[in-house]
Amino acid sequence: MRTPAKLAAAFLALLCAASCIRGPRHDGSPLRCAISITGNDRSMKLLCGYNYELATRFARSEGRDADIRLAGRSESILDSLKHGKIDLVMLPYADSLQADSLLVWYPADSCGIWVFAAGDEAQAAFAGNWLQELHTVPEYAGLREPYLELYNPLKQDSTAFISPYDSLVKLYADTLGWDWKMLAALIYQESRFRIEARSPKGASGLMQLVPNTARKFGCDDWLDPEQNIRAGVLMLRTLEKKYTRIAANPSELAKYTLAAYNAGSARIRDCISYARHLGADVSRWENVAAVIPDMKHDSIAALDAIKLGAFHGRETVSYVRSVNRYYERYKTICP
């Protein structure tokens, strides 16, 4: 199996070759794209991220930016395409596309299709040529593999890659001073590497950032893998600074940072205060985690050291444990 670095190099070479095709004239405005996600998310694997990457690269081959969004589940996305509100719709093959004289479509590969309005024949033809070039490179099957195989680290014996975003994870983990596999473990816990992941509370993207946090740390497009990871890491750096004088060592510092990422620093401050009140050694996260179950009682609010009241912190304790368990597995299965 080829390494992610070799796959990425081959992909870039492919895209450079495809960009040599003369594209249609355009006014330089962003290519407006919508990705349609339907059916069972498990069956979709990481195809939303795959389409996002292809659309971004395709737009760049024309010298344009890409404005990419998810299609709403109740949205008549093809009608929006026909009326010129968007330029490109990416559909999974699971969607039936009936014959329509107002639409032109090309297979992106066996996973889905790209659809254009019939009045945009030049753009559609350019996209068709670009996609054909993409398919002719011997490396192609391997290039898309990280998007088609979502490996559960607890069930995998070995792997050459963790996700399609390994290079980004390595880059931003370095700025945090973490082993990149720890950051990968956090992202797996948060989103399973699905860029389209959204929680009922509105947390979005690979690192599940809520809108205010995303904006605070410079993430304008929550679907964008790099923006989302960069913003999440900036948040982790901010949180980590709060525990440098508390944690006994880098491993304990990472655990505190993970806990705060899940529950918020104010909640973790209360947990530390309560542990100190009980005489526990707070330099180690396990000692703090051990007293968290007691904090679910309303009587905890009577203590002066507790600012936010009762805390049902079982999820946070489990979160820290899970991320570290994935991290230990990644160290074992990925070189």
Mean pLDDT by 10 residues, the chain (335 residues): 45 44 63 81 73 92 94 89 94 72 86 90 91 85 80 87 95 96 98 94 96 96 97 98 97 98 97 96 98 93 91 96 97 92
For the chain, how many structural domains are there in total?
2
> What pLDDT, on the 0 to 100 scale, is given for residue 94?
58
> What pLDDT, on the 0 to 100 scale, is given for residue 308?
94
> What pLDDT, on the 0 to 100 scale, is given for residue 97?
73
Amino acid at 146: P
Residue 100 lies in a domain: yes
What phi, psi does 226 have (nearest 5°)?
Answer: -70, -45
Crossing angle between the packed helical segments 121-136 and 47-61, to the nearest 10 degrees: 110
Please state, in angstroms and rounded to a whole number, the distance separating the CA atoms of residues 95 and 115: 12
**Quick one: tokens of 197?**
């992941």
Strand spans (E) along the chain: 31-35, 66-70, 88-92, 103-109, 112-117
Residue in the block written with tokens 């960009």: 19
Same domain flag for 225 and 328: yes
Residue 72 lies in a domain: yes
Residue 153 lies in a domain: no
Torsion, Cα of 305, 308, 309, 310 (10° steps): -110
- Cα dihedral across residues 160, 151, 172, 243: positive or negative: negative
Range of the domain at 294: 166-333
Nearest to 259 by CA among 234, 286, 224: 286
